[in-house]
Amino acid sequence: MNANTGKVIRVDLNTGVVSIETLPEDNYREYVGGSGLAAKYFWEKGDFNADALSPEAMLIFMNGPFSGLKLSGASRNSVAGRSPLTGHWADSSCGGFFAPELRYAGYDGIVLTGKSPKPSVLLIEDDKISIVDGTEYWGKGIEEVTKELRNKHGKTCRTVTIGPAGENLVKFACIMNEGHHTFGRTGFGAVMGSKNLKAIVVKAAKKEMTLADPEKYEELRKELNAKIKDALASNVLHENGSAANLGGGAFTGDVPIKNFTSNFWEEVTDALSGPTLTDKYLTKRGACAYCAIACKRVVEVKEGPWTIPEGPGPEYETIVAYGSLMGSLDLAAVCKANRICNDMGMDTISSGVTIAWAMEAFEKGDLTEADTDGIQLNWGDMETVINIVLPKIVKREGNLGALLAEGSVSAAEKIGKDSINYTTQSKGLEAPMHDPRGGGHGMALTYAMSARGACHVADPMLFVEMGSCYYPEIGFEFELEPMTDVNKPEAAVISIELGCIENSACFCQFADREVSIPEWVELFNTVPGYNWDAQDMMNAGRRIFYLKRLMNYRYGLTAKNDELTPRMLEPARDGEPQGIEINFTGMKEKFYELMDMDPEKGIPSKAALNECGLSQEAANVW
C-alpha cells in the first residue's frame, strides 16, 4: 500500500486494550480516505443504536491519502461518527499538524470506543501506544493543556485536545489541534469528553512516506505548490485571511445580519473585514503544515475592554458569527470571543448562531428572563455575551447555560412558540455564515443535501456560484448567476461529488480551487496509486455521498429532513437579494431526479446503489 499505511489504531477505553487493525485495500480506492473511509468503517463496524455520548459510540479520526505530503492544502484530516448535536452521521475536518504526524507514526486513523474510568490521554509514539492518566489536565483550557502536553512529551509532538466545554458535554464542543486548528462542527469534543479522553498526543520518530510514483509526484508537487502559492485567491487569503472579501460579501447579501433578519449592513465592510483585522490586530500569519497560503491569523488586542495576548485570531466564520450575526461591529470583541471559544473548546459557528437566535427570541418575548436567569440578551451587547453567556454555556450553568449548551434546535424545541422557525439550520446543524439568499441559491440546495446538516465546506458550492470553479474535463462549464435556480441542481451534483472527494482526500478547499481535474487524478495515481481516470474519481465521490445518505436513513432521516428553516428561505428583507424567492422545492426535486434518489425515503434507488458498487448496502435499506 502506498501513502496510506492500511493501519488504524483501535482503542477500547473501557478496558484500555489497544489493537492495530488492517483495512482492506479496496476500501481506500472505493472511499478515498478521510470522511469517506470513516463512513465505510462505521457502516461495517459502528453501532447505529448507540447514543452519541454513550460508551458504545464510535469516534473515528481518519487521514486522507495525502496527509503528510509536503503540499499546500494536504494536511487536513477528519473526525467522524454520530453527532451529539444532530443525532445522525457527521464528520468534521481540521487542518494543522495532527494528520501528518499520525501518518508518519504509521497510521491512517484512530477508532475510539468505550469510556475511560478516569480522565485520560492517548499517547501514540510510533508503535508504542498507551493510555495515560489525564487527571491533571481535566478542567483546564486547551491553550494550557496543549502547552503542558508539549512540555511533557516534547516540542515535536502533536496534539488534539478538548476543553471544559467538551468535558461538560456541550453539544457543539469542538476538538482543537495545537490550540489553533479546529475540528469545529457537530460536537465531537463532547464525544471525546463523554469518553473521558482529554487529549491525543502523537509523536513520530521519522517523517517518511512511500508513494506510488515518487518521481512523477515530485514534479507535480512542485508545479502545484507554485500554482497554489501564486494564485490570486491565495495572495488575498495570505494577506487578509478568510475574511478578506467580507466586504464584497456584505454588498451581495451573503453576510448574515442579526440572526439572518437582514442581508445588508454597510458598516460591516469596514468594521469587520479582513483588511481591518490586519490593520488593527494582526501580529503575524500562521499556516497549516507545509502550506504556502498561510491564511491563519495571529492577533493581539492591546487596549480597550477586550485585551488579549498574542494568539490565534478569528476566521471569517467567527467574525460574522460573533459580529454582524449578533448585531455587533466590535472586532476586538470578536477576537476575545474567539479566544474564549478556542480555549474552552466550542464551535464558534454553532455557539454564535445559538446565541444570535436567543437574542431574537428574547427580543420577541419567546425567551423570557425566567429562561435566562434574569439576563437580558440584546443585539450587540457583547459584554453580556463574553462575560456571562459564554461562561454559562461552557459550564451548563443555570437555565440559560443548560438551554443554550444543547444548541439552537433543542433550545427552540424546549421554549416552543414559533421559535423553531427562526432557527437557521438544516438537519439540526446551525448554518454557517453564508446566507444562500445573497450568496447563491445553489447553496440553499447543498446546505439541505449535506449529510451532516447545513454546511459550506461539505462541497464547494460557495465557490461554484462565485465563479471560481471551472472543470471542462468533467462537463462543468456552467456560468451561474448566484441569485437564480438556473442550472443549480446540475451544478450541485458535480459540486457534491467533488466535495465528497475533497473531504475524503482531506484537502483544503482554499488550495483545492487551484487544482484541476487532471491534476487531482494524477495526485491520486502518483501518491496512493489508485490508478483512476476522472470518471473513477467522480464515481468515488458519488459513492461516498450515497453511503452517507444510507447512514442517515438508518438514523431515521428521510427526504423530509433535506430542508432549510423558514427563516433561511423567506425572501430577504433588504440588500441586493431583497424580495427574491428561492425556488428551493424545484431545485430539490430536480436534484433528486439527477441523483436518482427516492423522493420520500431520501436515499438512492436500488439500481443507483448497485451501479455505484453499493449492492450489499442496498440490501440493508431496500
Q: Which stretch binds other proteins (CB under 8 A): 94-102, 238-246, 336-344, 538-546?
A: 238-246
244 near other proteins, rule: CB under 8 A: yes
* CA torsion through residues 339, 153, 148, 140, sign: positive
Q: Which of 374, 36, 57 is nearest to 192 (CA)?
A: 57
d(CA 425, CA 440) in angstroms, rounded, equals: 16
Residue type for position 399: N
Residues 97-126 that bind other proteins (CB under 8 A): none
Q: Exposure of 587 by Cβ count < 10 A (0-12 exposed, 13-18 middle, 19+ buried)?
A: buried
Q: Which stretch binds other proteins (CB under 8 A): 138-146, 156-164, 247-255, 445-453?
A: 247-255
Q: Which stretch binds other proteins (CB under 8 A): 107-115, 126-134, 231-239, 292-300?
A: 231-239
Nearer to other proteins, 130 or 235 (CB): 235
Nearer to other proteins, 10 or 227 (CB): 227
C-alpha cell, 423: 432557527
379 near other proteins, rule: CB under 8 A: no
User: In angstroms, what is the minimal distance from the CB of 574 to other proteins?
Assistant: 15
Nearer to other proteins, 251 or 555 (CB): 251
Q: Which stretch binds other proteins (CB under 8 A): 105-113, 172-180, 243-251, 331-339?
A: 243-251
| Per-residue binding letters, 438-477, with other proteins (x by CB under 8 A) | ----------------------------xxxxx-------
# residues near other proteins by CB under 8 A: 19
Binding test (CB under 8 A) with other proteins, winner from 21, 56, 148, 239: 239
Nearer to other proteins, 177 or 262 (CB): 262
DSSP string across 478-538: ----TTS-TTHHHHHHHHHHHHHHHHHHT--HHHHTT--HHHHHHHHHHTT-----HHHHH
272-to-245, 254, 333, 335, 437 alpha-carbon distances in Å: 10, 14, 11, 11, 21
* Residue 259: Cβ within 10 Å count: 25
d(CA 34, CA 548) in angstroms, rounded, equals: 13
Binding test (CB under 8 A) with other proteins, winner from 235, 307, 378, 585: 235
**Collapsed DSSP state (helix, strand, coil) of residue 143:** helix
Nearer to other proteins, 266 or 581 (CB): 266
Beta bridge partners of 437: none
65-to-32, 103, 210, 451, 505 alpha-carbon distances in Å: 7, 9, 11, 22, 6
User: In angstroms, what is the minimal distance from the CB of 22 to other proteins?
Assistant: 42
User: In angstroms, what is the minimal distance from the CB of 308 to other proteins?
Assistant: 25
Nearer to other proteins, 25 or 279 (CB): 279
504 near other proteins, rule: CB under 8 A: no
Binding test (CB under 8 A) with other proteins, winner from 193, 247, 312, 407: 247
Cβ-contact 423, 565 below 8 angstroms: yes
Q: Which stretch binds other proteins (CB under 8 A): 168-176, 241-249, 296-304, 429-437?
A: 241-249
DSSP string across 345-386: TB-HHHHHHHHHHHHHHHHHTSS-TTTTTT----TT-HHHII
User: In angstroms, what is the minimal distance from the CB of 465 to other proteins?
Assistant: 10
480: left (phi over 0), alpha (psi -120 to 50) or beta: beta
User: In angstroms, what is the minimal distance from the CB of 244 to other proteins?
Assistant: 6
Cβ-contact 176, 144 below 8 angstroms: no
d(CA 467, CA 456) in angstroms, rounded, equals: 15
236 near other proteins, rule: CB under 8 A: yes
240 near other proteins, rule: CB under 8 A: yes
d(CA 465, CA 460) in angstroms, rounded, equals: 9
Cβ-contact 449, 542 below 8 angstroms: no
User: In angstroms, what is the minimal distance from the CB of 236 to other proteins?
Assistant: 6
User: In angstroms, what is the minimal distance from the CB of 270 to other proteins?
Assistant: 9
User: In angstroms, what is the minimal distance from the CB of 293 to other proteins?
Assistant: 14
| Per-residue binding letters, 273-292, with other proteins (x by CB under 8 A) | --x-----------------
Q: Which residues bind other proteins (CB under 8 A)?
A: 232, 235-236, 239-240, 244-245, 247-248, 250-251, 269, 275, 466-470, 479
